[in-house]
Structure 1
Amino acid sequence: MDRRAVTPRRVALSLALLVSSVGSVAATELSGSATLTSDYVWRGTSQSDEGPAVQAGIKFAGMHGFYAQAWGSDVRFAPQTAASHELDLVAGWAGPLSDAFALDAALTHYRYPGAAVDLDWTEFGATLTWRTRAWLQLAHASDALASGAPGTYAQVGMRIPVDDRLWFEIAVGRYWLHAASGANDYTHVQAGVV
Structure 2
Amino acid sequence: MKGRIVRRCSVLLLGLAMSGAAAAAVEGNATLTTDYVWRGSSQSDGDPAAQAGVKLGSERGWYASVWGSGVSFQPDNGARSEFDVVAGWSGALGQDWALDVNLTRYLYPSSNVDLNWTELNSTLTWQQRYWLQVGVSDDALAGGHSGTYAQLGARLPLGEQWRLEAAVGHYWLASAQADDYLHGQLSAVWKVHGPWELRLTAHDTDTAAKRLFPGNAGSRVEFAVQTAF
TM-score for the superposition, normalised by structure 1: 0.90
Which residue is 1:63 aligned to? Answer: 59
Query: 80, 94, 104: which is aligned to 1:98?
Result: 94
- For 2:16 and 2:51, the matched residues in 1 are separated by 24
Deviation at 1:143, TM superposition (A): 0.5
Which residue is 1:145 aligned to? Answer: 141
Residue identity matched to 1:43: R
Deviation at 1:165, TM superposition (A): 2.9
How high is the sequence identity, in percent, across the aligned residues?
A: 50
Would you say 1:77 and 2:73 are equivalent positions?
yes
Secondary structure in 1 matching 2:141:
helix
Task: Give the 3 Å change call, closer, same or farther, for CA 16–158 of structure 1 in structure 2.
Answer: closer
Residue identity matched to 1:134: Y
In the TM superposition, what whole-angstrom CA distance separates every residue of 1:104-156 from its partner, at most 9, and x where no partner exists? 11100001102111111000011111101111111100100111100000011
Q: Is the 8 A contact 2:150 2:171 kept in 1?
A: yes
Which residue is 1:193 aligned to? Answer: 188
User: What is the correspondence of 1:122-141 to structure 2 with a 5 Å cutoff?
Assistant: 122-141=118-137
Task: Give the 3 Å change call, closer, same or farther, for CA 164–35 of structure 1 in structure 2.
Answer: closer
Which residue is 2:26 aligned to? Answer: 30
Secondary structure in 2 matching 1:5:
helix
Which residue is 1:18 aligned to? Answer: 16
Comparing both structures, which one devotes a greater share of its residues to helix? 1
Task: Give the 3 Å change call, closer, same or farther, for CA 165–129 of structure 1 in structure 2.
Answer: same
Q: Which has the higher contact order (CA 8 A, sep 6+)?
A: 2
Deviation at 1:5, TM superposition (A): 2.2
Task: Give the 3 Å change call, closer, same or farther, for CA 12–85 of structure 1 in structure 2.
Answer: farther
Residue identity matched to 1:123: E
Secondary structure in 1 matching 2:20:
helix
- For 1:180 and 1:3, the matched residues in 2 are separated by 18
Which residue is 1:5 aligned to? Answer: 4
Secondary structure in 1 matching 2:120:
strand
Task: Give the 3 Å change call, closer, same or farther, for CA 11–39 of structure 1 in structure 2.
Answer: farther
Would you say 1:113 and 2:109 are equivalent positions?
yes
Q: Is the 8 A contact 1:157 1:169 kept in 2?
A: yes
Structure 1 residue ranges (4+ consecutive) displaced by more than 6 angstroms after TM superposition: none
RMSD: 1.8
Which residue is 1:87 aligned to? Answer: 83
Q: How many residues align?
A: 189
- For 2:60 and 2:17, the matched residues in 1 are separated by 13
